[in-house]
Chain A
Amino acid sequence: MSDDPILSVDDVQVSFPVGGLASRSAILGVAGVSFQVRPGETFALVGESGSGKTTLARAINGLQEISAGSITFEGGRIDRLGKREMKPIRKRMSMMFQDPVGSLSPRMTVGDLVTEPYRIHGSDGRDLRAETERLLSLVGLPANFASRYPHQLSGGQARRVGVARAIALDPALVIADEPTAGLDVSVQGEVLNLLNDLRERLGLAMVIITHNLHVVHHVADRTAVMYLGRFVEKGETEAMFSAPCHPYTAALLSANPEPDPDKVHDRITLPAEVPSLLSRPSGCEFHTRCPWAQETCKTVPPPPGDVTCHFPLAPGARPPELESAR
């Protein structure tokens, strides 16, 4: 594993205009985030819906224009590239989209679907039939699946086809948007094992977007937690799970229902109302929902860093109201 990052995202912002043509106002879907991914590493983006995870992934892949910051991939800036210049980059960086069945054209066979990347980027003299077999066996599907159509596949099988398409061109980086959403637990494990296995065998770097924290725990080397388009905490997955520093991370972790009816939940409950991006809260943007919020948090934005919080939590901290109830 080399130490040079394969992907470097620096202070990236994505803004969306709102309020019609004449209006000048805009909301920041991604409000300045930075992270790096090294070869062979898995980086996870976690957050609630609307936190900007998917927008960030689309920005990295050039599907969404960024309004500030820079994105460097394999040593070159890729954030201001045109469609044509972006095409060779897409051979090196592939994307797995959220909906496993919806991302496959219903009118193409599995064989056509997994070799479609070659038709777009050129096959370099590869034998497409042999490639189909190679890719299907790589993702653990029988060769006779090549003649099936997407509606004949189960969710897990469709996901495998999506993985095959993503790795067809030997990319260096795979961005997987909710790779396990909508899959059953038994199949979820299969897909994650497959991704892990390919990562090891092919030396892939991966960016995984998910809101399932249990999944993150098992697959990601490093994790960033997003809230309103910013990272509130970023770091080694293992350390973050054992001792979350940001109250929001702690709340997310405590909200994870576990299959044990006798488990006593020391739950950190958050008010359900997520602030609108149109009127971001002042100071620390999490203060409207934070059980630990103090006066400072309402006015002064937290200092930048891996944990953007005025008062990072001590390990095992409990919210003030639970503490006093004891």
Chain B
Amino acid sequence: MTTLSVSGLNVWFSTEDGPLHALKDVTFDIPERRIVGIVGESGCGKSTLINAILGLLADNGEIRNGEILFEGQSDLTKLTRREMQDLRGPRISTVFQDPMGALNPVLSVGEQMINIQYRSGQSKAEKAARAIEMLKLVRIPDADSALNRYPHQFSGGMKQRIAIAMSLMMEPALLIADEPTTALDATLEVATIELLQDLQEQIGCSVMFISHHLGVIAELCQDVVVMYAGEVVERGTVRDVFHDPRHPYTRRLLECDPARQTERTRVLPTIPGEIPDLRHRPEGCVFAPRCLERHPGCDMAQSERMVAPGHAARCNLVDQSAAEGESA
């Protein structure tokens, strides 16, 4: 079963300077028990996508068409506020980038962890036991006494693990992790990734993992969705996309990662130019103005092409290389 299936999602914002097309025809699946990475640079629509899924778009935002099917039944775009509230937390939960901002500084960790179980109908002692169990699961030392401590008494890495414990406490079907390791150091980042992997297996949830760190995505995720300027430009398994990137943007993004440069170099590759103004989307391919492989065919709107089963790219070069392959 597919935990989350987004198809043809379009999100618009009304701004002072006219309507802004923030997400255009976004389509991807998060299969059951899989970790799907969403990668893209600032302004590519990652946050808008999360907010659209969670039903938390700003007042000037609007889903014009498309659907977000959760567990094959409920279309999240059509649910009422109340129905959405019932899903957020027990069925879909979130870990955010900043662990300090996610925890209330004036309440003890225990109080917060007990409070969020308000739906469980258990006694306070049972809720506290559950909180301790979760803290042990995320490897917080001395979990019993940790309940009485306050967020500032924990390090950044431990706070993020507490936030993860809280988000998984209700055993959701889908965990949305929004850059959860960006604020952490390299050694803690790796530890957090390994922890997420373990927990995902134990709880059996699906994870939508948002990051701009390609190394983290490669290590943690099974599938990846590459976004650029509010569009999905390429998606597939991590292995397919990282070993055989078919969209020029994916290729450039991979080249830019300093980790890919094994030889020491003084001049690092970049992608010159900027993301287009989404109030005036280009008619053709959205990446064409910055693309080195641009040709006349790019002036027309691009549809998604299948490269191989489960691997798709929104670029007409895919057709060409397929044709070449046939003639060869």
Interface of A with B (CB < 8 Å)? 48-50, 154-155, 184-190, 192-193, 196, 211-215, 217-219, 237-238, 251-252, 255-263, 265, 267, 269-270, 272-274
**Separation of A272 and B191 alpha carbons in the complex (Å):** 8
**Separation of A252 and B186 alpha carbons in the complex (Å):** 7
With a CB–CB cut-off of 8 A, which chain B residues contact A186?
41, 252-253, 256, 270-271
Is there contact, CB below 8 Å, between B238 and A261? yes
With a CB–CB cut-off of 8 A, which chain A residues contact B218?
257-261, 263
Known: A185-B258, A193-B268. 9 other contacts (CB 8 A): A154-B274, A185-B41, A185-B257, A186-B271, A257-B190, A258-B259, A259-B217, A261-B218, A269-B191
With a CB–CB cut-off of 8 A, which chain B residues contact A155?
42
Is there contact, CB below 8 Å, between B188 and A272? yes
The answer to whether residues A218 and B257 also contact, given A190-B270, A269-B190, A272-B157 and a CB cut-off of 8 A, is: no
Task: Give the residue among B258, B266, B271 with the most A Cβ atoms within 10 A.
Answer: B258
With a CB–CB cut-off of 8 A, which chain A residues contact B257?
185, 214, 259
Interface of B with A (CB < 8 Å)? 41-43, 139, 141, 155-158, 185-191, 193-194, 212-219, 238-239, 242-243, 252-254, 256-261, 264-271, 274
A-B contact pairs, 14 of them (CB 8 A): A48-B185, A48-B186, A48-B188, A49-B156, A154-B274, A186-B253, A186-B271, A189-B256, A189-B258, A189-B270, A252-B187, A257-B215, A262-B243, A272-B191
Of the residues B139, B190, B269, contact of A255 by C-beta under 8 Å? B190
Of the residues A154, A185, A193, A261, contact of B242 by C-beta under 8 Å? A261
Chain A residue at minimal CB-CB distance from B157? A272
Is there contact, CB below 8 Å, between B268 and A192? yes
Interface of B, secondary structure class, is: helix
Of the residues B187, B216, B269, contact of A48 by C-beta under 8 Å? B187
**Separation of A256 and B258 alpha carbons in the complex (Å):** 11
CB-based closest 6 A-B pairs = A257-B215, A189-B268, A259-B214, A184-B41, A214-B258, A186-B271
The answer to whether residues A259 and B254 also contact, given A49-B156, A211-B185 and a CB cut-off of 8 A, is: yes
Of the residues A218, A267, A273, A274, contact of B261 by C-beta under 8 Å? A218
With a CB–CB cut-off of 8 A, which chain A residues contact B261?
214, 218
Is there contact, CB below 8 Å, between A184 and B212? yes
**Separation of A154 and B242 alpha carbons in the complex (Å):** 27
Chain B residue at minimal CB-CB distance from A183? B42
Is there contact, CB below 8 Å, between B42 and A184? yes
Min Cβ gap A261→B in Å is 5
Is there contact, CB below 8 Å, between A257 and B213? yes
Is there contact, CB below 8 Å, between B212 and A251? no
With a CB–CB cut-off of 8 A, which chain A residues contact B217?
259
Is there contact, CB below 8 Å, between B187 and A255? yes
**Separation of A258 and B44 alpha carbons in the complex (Å):** 22
With a CB–CB cut-off of 8 A, which chain B residues contact A48?
185-188
Of the residues B41, B157, B242, B269, contact of A189 by C-beta under 8 Å? B269
Min Cβ gap A150→B in Å is 15
Min Cβ gap B313→A in Å is 18
**Separation of A154 and B273 alpha carbons in the complex (Å):** 12
Of the residues B155, B216, B238, contact of A257 by C-beta under 8 Å? B216
**Separation of A258 and B258 alpha carbons in the complex (Å):** 9
Min Cβ gap A291→B in Å is 12
Is there contact, CB below 8 Å, between A257 and B268? no
Of the residues A154, A218, A255, contact of B189 by C-beta under 8 Å? A255
Min Cβ gap A271→B in Å is 9
Is there contact, CB below 8 Å, between B239 and A261? yes
With a CB–CB cut-off of 8 A, which chain B residues contact A213?
186
With a CB–CB cut-off of 8 A, which chain A residues contact B189?
255, 257
Is there contact, CB below 8 Å, between A270 and B258? no
Task: Give the residue among B193, B259, B266 with the most A Cβ atoms within 10 A.
Answer: B259
**Separation of A273 and B140 alpha carbons in the complex (Å):** 10
The answer to whether residues A273 and B141 also contact, given A185-B212, A262-B239 and a CB cut-off of 8 A, is: yes
With a CB–CB cut-off of 8 A, which chain A residues contact B243?
261-262
Is there contact, CB below 8 Å, between A196 and B267? yes
Chain B residue at minimal CB-CB distance from A241? B264
Is there contact, CB below 8 Å, between B252 and A257? no
Chain A residue at minimal CB-CB distance from B40? A184
With a CB–CB cut-off of 8 A, which chain B residues contact A273?
141, 155
**Separation of A272 and B139 alpha carbons in the complex (Å):** 10
Is there contact, CB below 8 Å, between B265 and A218? yes
Min Cβ gap A237→B in Å is 8
Is there contact, CB below 8 Å, between A188 and B258? yes
Min Cβ gap B124→A in Å is 30
**Separation of A155 and B41 alpha carbons in the complex (Å):** 11
**Separation of A213 and B257 alpha carbons in the complex (Å):** 12
With a CB–CB cut-off of 8 A, which chain A residues contact B268?
188-189, 192-193, 218
**Separation of A218 and B270 alpha carbons in the complex (Å):** 14
**Separation of A192 and B141 alpha carbons in the complex (Å):** 40
**Separation of A91 and B290 alpha carbons in the complex (Å):** 39
**Separation of A141 and B189 alpha carbons in the complex (Å):** 34
Task: Give the residue among A188, A260, A261 with the most B Cβ atoms within 10 A.
Answer: A261
The answer to whether residues A267 and B190 also contact, given A257-B215, A260-B242 and a CB cut-off of 8 A, is: yes
Is there contact, CB below 8 Å, between B185 and A214? no
Is there contact, CB below 8 Å, between A256 and B270? no
With a CB–CB cut-off of 8 A, which chain B residues contact A187?
41, 270
With a CB–CB cut-off of 8 A, which chain A residues contact B216?
257
With a CB–CB cut-off of 8 A, which chain B residues contact A274?
155
With a CB–CB cut-off of 8 A, which chain B residues contact A193?
267-268, 270
Chain A residue at minimal CB-CB distance from B184? A49
**Separation of A134 and B311 alpha carbons in the complex (Å):** 48
Is there contact, CB below 8 Å, between A256 and B215? yes
**Separation of A154 and B257 alpha carbons in the complex (Å):** 20
Min Cβ gap B181→A in Å is 9
**Separation of A184 and B259 alpha carbons in the complex (Å):** 14
**Separation of A137 and B215 alpha carbons in the complex (Å):** 34
With a CB–CB cut-off of 8 A, which chain B residues contact A49?
156, 185
Chain B residue at minimal CB-CB distance from A268? B187
**Separation of A237 and B264 alpha carbons in the complex (Å):** 10
